[in-house]
Structure 1
Amino acid sequence: MTRVRVLTCWLTIAACLPYVGLKLAWIFGSGIGGADEQMTRSSVVVANVVTMGMDLVAIVIVLAFTYRWGRRIPAWLVLVPMWVGTGLLAPIALGLPLGVLVQLIVGGSPAASGATLDGWVFAVVYGGFTLQAVGLTIAFALYARDRWAALFETTELRRGATHDLQLLIAKAGAVVATGFAGMQIAWAVTGGQLGGQPTAVETAAQKTFYLVRALIAVAGAVSLLVFVHGRSTWFSLAGAWVGTGFLFASGLFDLLIEPEGDVLRLTALAATLVGLLTGIAAILAAIDHLHAQSHLRPLGAVGEEGVEVALGDLSGREAERALVE
């Protein structure tokens, strides 16, 4: 365990704490940050509990990425929440700094006119999210490099039995992702008027945020096509991971807040379903990648003392097990 890992872990946890503290205060009725009586509504309280819980899960996950006991956790228990978390945090981590920069250039306030919370709340919350995204990314990259080293090797993918299905999903997903990106661009250009978007997109920072969402959707679709149909590289794998997670997480989040209007509901539903299907296609492609390796470095096989165990040549079934266990 390196100092970089430990430092990254605890800085990430520190970035989570202000958000957790704010949510706790609001759950118990505090008016800190300009919170009003709307915060006491049962639906808002439930939403605050859920979102606070998500940050607590992030704390557990970054600890798992850092300490040896995390290697013994079944892969899906860390991959699924990390995939969803990546989808939620990526547009914030990329869009917030760029949006603030654009706002500084064009002038004006980055906050929308209808904002009820104090400005410092947005700085604390979204600044914390950005730091969390950076910390989790570093911790996860180091963890994945140790546990699934073969996935980071640049090789020609072996076309497995599901390759045609992967390609079909990736192509269909690219079409839907392009349409989704088009909606984000339209909302940025029209100020959120198209399709009944309930949130007004007024400021340069907000418009930039929606443009970044469009870019992530398209980049993810292209990355998945490269990963499924071409050479496997860490870049295409990372792009597919972020893009599919973003579509699924953003679509699901929008569905949970019950969007009004057929356009919004259809956009959210399509993003959720396509994000899930393209995520599955990426997993199948990753399994094919593992099959292509004649010799794999540690894929989660770590002894009780933390000694890594090489797995040698793996059969197809063993490669699948290495990825999911």
Structure 2
Amino acid sequence: MKSSRLTHLGRIAVAACVPYLALKLLWVLGLDVGVLDTSRFSRTTWVAGNAVTFLLDAVAAVVAHTLTRPAGRRAPAWLLALPLWAASGLLLPLLTGLIGGSLTGLVTGARNPLAAGDFLQPWVFGVVYGGFLVETVTLLGAFAVYAHQRWGTLLRRPLHALPRTGTRAVQRLFLLPAAAVLAALGTVRILWGAGADLGAPAAGEQARTVLSAASDWAQGGYAVAGATGLVLLVLPGLLPRLRVRVPLALAWAGSATVVACGGCTWLVQAVAGGLFGAGAVPGGLPGLVGALELCTGLVVLCAGAFTLCELTAAAGPAPAAERDLPAPPALVAQEDSVSSASLRAVRECAPTDDR
């Protein structure tokens, strides 16, 4: 049943990537379908940006297809988990900010830049973000099913039943400070979304829209959620009966978001500004936040990957308490009865020596 569900979700995710990939391919080839203002970017920047995003979504389609194949269950864990972690960091805050900002604009009457029609035709946003919505639900849903098939023994355990590993003190040394930094970064993002200046440049104030505010809210919320998940994983005694999958999902989404949406954006801007003079190099508090998001997210990724490998190895196929439980008396008696009957049947059917 789960294999069938995984196959269906993976195939839908691949199909959801097709419209976006087709549109990006047309733009790379010079067919500006749905583009109203072609002078906003240089041709080189436009082609390079669309080529990169085409490759990113193509990787997502390949991963979704791999999840549906038997070979996907034998593939190294990092080969699927790493691109899906990055995809989570891009898709979750994007769609959360888009939906939240659009609903806020409808309720408050604030201007929604997607409906302005000054750069792309409105139908382009429908194709792109509609595909992203389906892709997010199906791709991450397929990975959730896959993860429970592959690591279900660990994911379904309560926190108090986590194996005692020898590196828990080292985990706390790295992950508790990382959780504190994530919480601080998330708080800054939320304050920006609420309209606080807090070191934001003047250009950012002028360009602030209902969608950019919702995006800051989304990124900040995921960062705070990630910090909460890390604390619960490192200090399992806080909520001992909580299943491992809940704080792990929070830490997964939070760390992926700060790297993909915050840290990588800062890195691209810094490299482009420093090497090619394309735009201003992020400075002040925004630059510090971006750099810390990149570093903190990578620390969580590395420490989390090591810890999960250690826990999976220590967990084994089943909890020791379950393996060592004696069989119920009724079951033992039933097994003895079946064994005796089988032995009698074998003796009756065995050939006799008439000589």
Normalised by the length of structure 2, the TM-score is 0.76
Any conservation in 1 of the 2:186–2:220 contact (CA below 8 Å)?
A: yes
250-259 vs 192-201, which moves further: 192-201
Q: Name the CA distance, whole Å, in 2 between partners of 1:38 and 1:100.
A: 24
- The answer to whether the 8 Å contact 2:190/2:220 transfers is yes
AA matched with 1:244: S
RMSD (CA atoms) = 2.7
Unaligned stretches of 5+ residues in structure 1: 298-311, 314-325
Please state if 1:223 is matched with 2:245.
no
Aligned: 1:282 with 2:304: yes
What do residues 122-173 of structure 1 show as CA deviations (whole Å, max 9, x unaligned)?
Answer: 2322222222111111110111111122221223223423212211222211
Match of 1:255 in 2: 267
The match for 1:189 among 187, 194, 198 is 194
Gaps of 5+ in 2: 271-280, 325-355
Relative to structure 1, is the Cα distance of residues 144 and 252 closer, same or farther in structure 2, using a 3 angstrom cutoff? same
Larger radius of gyration: 2
Query: Residue 195 of structure 1 aligns to a residue in which SS?
Result: coil
1:93 counterpart = 2:103: no
Q: Describe the superposition over 1:47-70 as per-residue Cα deviations: whole angstroms up to 9, x where unpaired.
A: 211110010000010111111121
Q: Which amino acid aligns with 1:32?
A: V
Alignment of 1:73-84 (within 5 A): 73-84=75-86
Deviates more, 1:115-124 or 1:63-72: 115-124
CA distance in structure 2 between the aligned counterparts of 1:14 and 1:244, rounded to whole angstroms: 28
Q: Distance in 1 between matches of 2:176 and 2:90?
A: 23
1:233 is aligned to 2:239: no
Q: Which of the residues 236, 256, 267 maps onto 1:245? A: 256
Equivalent-residue separation in structure 1 for 2:75 and 2:307 (angstroms)? 23
Change (3 A) 1:291 1:228: farther
What residue is the counterpart of 2:175 in the other structure? 170
Cα distance, 1:89 vs. partner? 0.9
1:235: Cα distance to partner?
0.5
State yes or no: 1:135 paired with 2:138.
Answer: yes
Residue 119 of structure 1: aligned partner:
122
Query: Deviation at 1:291?
Result: 4.5
What CA distance in whole angstroms lies between the structure 2 residues aligned with 1:57 and 1:215? 27
Runs of 4+ in 1 over 4 A off after TM superposition: 112-115, 197-201
Partner of 2:274: none
Structure 1 residue 67 and structure 2 residue 69: aligned? yes
Distance in 2 (CA, whole Å) between partners of 1:7 and 1:291 is 30
